[in-house]
Amino acid sequence: MAKYFDVHPESPQPRTISTVAASLRSGALIAYPTDSCFALGCRLDNRDGLERIRSIRRLDERHHFTLMCVDFAQLGQFVQLDNNVFRAVKAATPGSYTFILPATKEVPRRLMHPKKKTVGVRIPDHTVTRALLTELGEPLVSSTLVLPGEDEPMTQGWEIKERLDHVLDAVVDSGDCGTEPTTVVDFSGGGPEIVRRGAGDPARFE
């Protein structure tokens, strides 16, 4: 049964955030709010959590997982950026964008695209998410919470708790969050390629 954490959207309770971070360090898989919509998240080294995300969403090995990072310094540890890409990504963060980039050796191979050796990264503009990432001290491996056969992501914490109670360890709810997935921009081929149009304005990459 998943624990349910009700977090203030603008002033997250430090004790609650600390409790959620501790559960992640102990191997938890959580659902949590972001500036685009709810996401599933676990630690980088949580193999079981990763497989549970794959199972919940029925993802194949070509799916790009996203490393949710607290700031640009952290993001830069996990992906390779040349000067042009650096400027483009930095100008759009924090925000509702996911960037696909070549992974560094810091990224476990199981998280990379099997052929391209790429991974998704993003820096969210959401107070609760950023508080949790700061407390955790490392990125969260994340995937948008869209269930198989459904077109829209889940947006209500109570509904997530109700429907996924048996497969999650915790649900973090801070009220309304985004309802549209991020805009995904692939820089792995050099120039920007918009893979998915979503919450972030794609015009800057066209």
Tens of pLDDT along 185-196?
A: 999 988 999 999
Q: Return the higher-pLDDT residue of 151 and 103.
A: 103
Strand arrangement, sheet containing 140-144: 3-6, 170-173, 30-32, 39-42, 140-144, 66-68, 118-122, 97-102, 183-186, 193-196
Rg, C-alpha atoms of the chain? 16
The share of the chain scoring above pLDDT 70, in percent, equals 100
Task: Identify the band that residue 177 occupies on the pLDDT scale cut at 50, 70 and 90.
Answer: confident
Q: Return the higher-pLDDT residue of 106 and 60.
A: 106
At residue 152, the pLDDT reads: 86
- Contacts of 193-200 spanning 24+ positions with Cβ under 8 A: 195/100, 198/36, 198/96, 199/35, 199/36, 199/96, 200/36, 200/92, 200/95, 200/96, 200/97
CB atoms within 10 A of CB 184: 21
Q: How far apart are the first and last CA of the chain?
A: 45
For 53-84, write each residue's pLDDT tens digit: 999 999 988 888 999 999 999 999 999 999 99
Q: Sign of the CA dihedral 55, 61, 63, 67?
A: positive
Average pLDDT over residues 130-147: 96
At residue 119, the pLDDT reads: 96
Report the CATH number at residue 22. Answer: 3.90.870.10
At residue 63, the pLDDT reads: 86
Domain span at residue 17 reads: 3-205
Count up the domains in the chain and report the number: 1
